[in-house]
Amino acid sequence: MENNIKQILEKDRLNKEDLITLLGTNEERAKLIYARAAEVKQQMVGNKVYFRGLVEYSNICTKNCYYCGVRSGNKKVNRYTLHEEEVLAAARFAYAHNYASMVIQSGELSSPAFVKRIGKLLTKIKKISNGELGITLSMGEQTEETYRYWRECGAHRYLLRIEASSPELYRKLHPNDKIHNYEQRIEALHLLKKTGYQVGTGVMIGLPFQRLEHLADDLIFFRDLDIDMAGMGPYIEHEDTPLYQYKDQLISKRERFTLSMKMVALLRIIMNDINIAATTAMQTLDPVGREKAIKVGANVIMPNLTPVSYRQNYLLYEDKPCIDEEASDCIECLDNRIRMYGGEVGYGEWGDSKHYYKRTGKTEVNQKE
């Protein structure tokens, strides 16, 4: 079996059957996958890890996804939207501490007022950072016009997670209505590419109803869509969601973590020059989960810059870590942990996706476009 794993990993292009075989390996044989992924990472993107200071702008959402703790149907959540100055303070912190980039994330809203507020924030962040802070948005499905507007205001990366690339599985995770439409989400990903963003997506790993075949298809979906970056991690249940009723059918949290490690490693192998985030969900299941993900392929990490007083209200899943740590508490700790696992923080660098420049034919830049 070990020789078979080695033979598969030597292939130039892995097919679905190869991926299913590799995803099904035990923890001992998975080390072969991790070792190969670490080699590919070092060759293609090096050992630098890029910070994206995360701001959880609002937990108000029009969607009612069955897995999400801030879904519109959850009446137990205290809803909030950060004040403009709170976002700008986070931007100043990121700029002052040489993060070089930030991520602004929120529930899915598309009202004209919301669109305009985000545009205004983007413009102000660019101004206070002399155009030097890179900005990623994660705000769900929007119109082409909105994507273009935010791009013009200063955003240049966008994360829109598909969560499950299988239409059948996607529909089990969402209400059957017009605002939870699989085809519409796919169209939004194509619009993001059309409007010039570095485009990211991702999935949850270890979902109810999910099989290894689904995860293999997810990896192929990423490759076929030709994404520039990915953010994915283990599914972690939340008791105030409809999917919680299936908690007894889930694989163990250890198995979900191991499967997530394999997904990160395999994605690095099949898409060797994209950016891959070491997600907070990995840390939820393992105290050094993010660092382990970095070792096997991830090269982006997102320290939370959201004011601590709001973080308890942005729980997409249970047991989320670092909700009571101030941003300033995390810097030295994260830097040290990343170095312990063989990485080096790329301070002052946007750390844009190398794949994006190859895909678009643009000239790669270190900082400003």
Q: Quote the mean pLDDT of the chain.
A: 93
Q: Can you give the CATH number for the domain in which 292 is found?
A: 3.20.20.70
By the 8 A CB rule, do 140 and 160 touch?
yes
By the 8 A CB rule, do 207 and 255 touch?
no
Q: Which of the four pLDDT bands, split at 50, 70 and 90, describes residue 3?
A: confident
Tell me whether residue 365 is in a domain.
Answer: no
Tell me whether residue 364 is in a domain.
Answer: no
Tell me whether residue 366 is in a domain.
Answer: no
Tell me whether residue 369 is in a domain.
Answer: no
Q: Tell me what the mean pLDDT of segment 322-345 comes to.
A: 77
Interatomic CA distance for residues 200 and 91, integer angstroms: 22
Q: Which of the four pLDDT bands, split at 50, 70 and 90, describes residue 199?
A: very high
Alpha-helix residue ranges (DSSP H) falling in 271-365: 280-285, 289-295, 308-311, 327-340, 354-360
Q: What is the pLDDT of residue 328?
A: 64
Domain span holding position 296: 2-359
pLDDT tens per residue, range 17-47: 999 999 999 999 999 999 999 999 999 999 9
Interatomic CA distance for residues 134 and 350, integer angstroms: 6
Tell me whether residue 367 is in a domain.
Answer: no
On the question of pLDDT at 315 being above 70, the answer is no
Q: Which of the four pLDDT bands, split at 50, 70 and 90, describes residue 369?
A: very low
For 155, the 3-state DSSP assignment is coil
On the question of pLDDT at 341 being above 90, the answer is no
Alpha-helix residue ranges (DSSP H) falling in 251-300: 253-270, 280-285, 289-295
1, burial (CB in 10 Å: exposed 0-12, middle 13-18, buried 19+): exposed
User: What's the number of domains the chain is made of?
Assistant: 1
Helices and strands per DSSP (H, E), number in the chain: 15, 11
Q: Which of the four pLDDT bands, split at 50, 70 and 90, describes residue 318?
A: low
Interatomic CA distance for residues 60 and 56, integer angstroms: 11
Q: What is the pLDDT of residue 334?
A: 84
Tell me whether residue 18 is in a domain.
Answer: yes
On the question of pLDDT at 368 being above 50, the answer is no
Instruction: Give the H or E element holding residue 46.
Output: none
323, burial (CB in 10 Å: exposed 0-12, middle 13-18, buried 19+): middle
45, burial (CB in 10 Å: exposed 0-12, middle 13-18, buried 19+): buried
Q: Tell me the two tokens of residue 311.
A: 């973080």
Higher pLDDT, 366 or 101: 101
Provide the whole-model pTM: 0.95
pLDDT tens per residue, range 236-264: 999 999 999 999 999 999 999 999 999 99
Q: Which of the four pLDDT bands, split at 50, 70 and 90, describes residue 364?
A: confident
Q: Which of the four pLDDT bands, split at 50, 70 and 90, describes residue 309?
A: confident
pLDDT tens per residue, range 72-127: 999 999 999 999 999 999 999 999 999 999 999 999 999 999 999 999 999 999 99
Tell me whether residue 10 is in a domain.
Answer: yes
Tell me whether residue 289 is in a domain.
Answer: yes
